């Protein structure tokens, strides 16, 4: 408890620095998640139509999930240097696999009878995708987005190691100076942000899931 009080006193002594770190952390996480979603959703739709492509693409995505977050961040250094941009690229790479995999799985799990019924009603392939398949796959897709969001928010802490800024700066400085209270200035907010992200996207997942699917669940 004493360390938490000391951490709060440090924040109170320079609230501007803390506010800027939080804003950078949120900006980095939000942009990475948005870009990952924009890239992974159409890729997941595409590979769900091509089994051969799915084998290669999902294999690569699952391989990425086994690589430590810090290693992905370090990999961008020779190409992009240090700062916000390489951190954004690395976090986007980390955010891609859960969304890509869940989009593929969700679409492949759509009941074939529902698709055939829609085609029998005269719907085009595009209409079937947007009006039938994606709504039915939405719970699985959103579960992937939630996993990706939490992972990105937590991993954004490591961006401090390559000059990306954010709350990780407090953690790395606290470790370097052996000041636990300074470390907690970064660690506690990151933990709270990860929990808040989980709750937010969990609520969003329930809200965007079609009512019929919620009732079945």
Tell me, what CATH number does 16's domain have? 1.10.3720.10
For the chain, the domain total comes to 1
pTM: 0.88
The band of 53, judged by pLDDT with boundaries at 50, 70 and 90, is confident
Paired tokens of 157: 């802490």
For range 135-147, the mean pLDDT:
92
Within 8 A by CB and 6+ apart from 150, the residues are 194, 197, 198, 201
| CA dist list (Å): 137 to 124, 150, 190 | 18, 21, 31
pLDDT digits (tens, 9 = 90+) for 56-111: 888 888 787 777 777 888 888 888 888 889 999 999 999 999 999 999 999 999 88
Quick one: which of 152, 13, 64 has its CA closest to 5?
A: 13
In whole angstroms, what is the distance from residue 214 CA to residue 217 CA? 5
Q: Where in the sequence is the domain holding 186, given as residue range(s)?
A: 2-216
Average pLDDT, the chain: 86
pLDDT digits (tens, 9 = 90+) for 96-138: 999 999 999 999 998 888 888 888 888 888 889 888 899 889 8
């Amino acid at each position: 408890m004493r360390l938490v009080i000391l951490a709060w006193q440090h924040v109170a002594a320079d609230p501007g620095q803390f506010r800027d770190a939080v804003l950078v952390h949120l900006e980095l996480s939000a942009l990475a998640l948005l870009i990952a979603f924009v890239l992974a959703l159409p890729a997941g739709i595409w590979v769900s139509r091509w089994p051969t492509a799915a084998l290669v693409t999902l294999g690569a995505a699952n391989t990425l999930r086994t690589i430590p977050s810090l290693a992905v961040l370090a990999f961008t250094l020779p190409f992009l240097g240090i700062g916000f941009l390489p951190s954004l690229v690395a976090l986007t790479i980390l955010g891609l696999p859960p969304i890509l995999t869940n989009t593929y799985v969700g679409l492949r799990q759509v009941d074939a009878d529902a698709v055939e019924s829609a085609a029998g009603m005269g719907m085009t392939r595009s209409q079937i995708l947007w009006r039938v398949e994606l709504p039915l796959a939405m719970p699985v897709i959103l579960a992937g987005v939630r996993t990706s969001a939490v992972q990105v928010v937590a991993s954004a802490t490591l961006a401090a190691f390559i000059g990306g800024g954010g709350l990780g700066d407090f953690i790395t400085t606290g470790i370097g100076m052996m000041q636990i209270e300074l470390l907690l200035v970064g660690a506690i907010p990151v933990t709270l942000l990860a929990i808040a992200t989980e709750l937010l996207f969990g609520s969003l997942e329930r809200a965007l899931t079609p009512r019929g699917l919620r009732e079945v669940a």
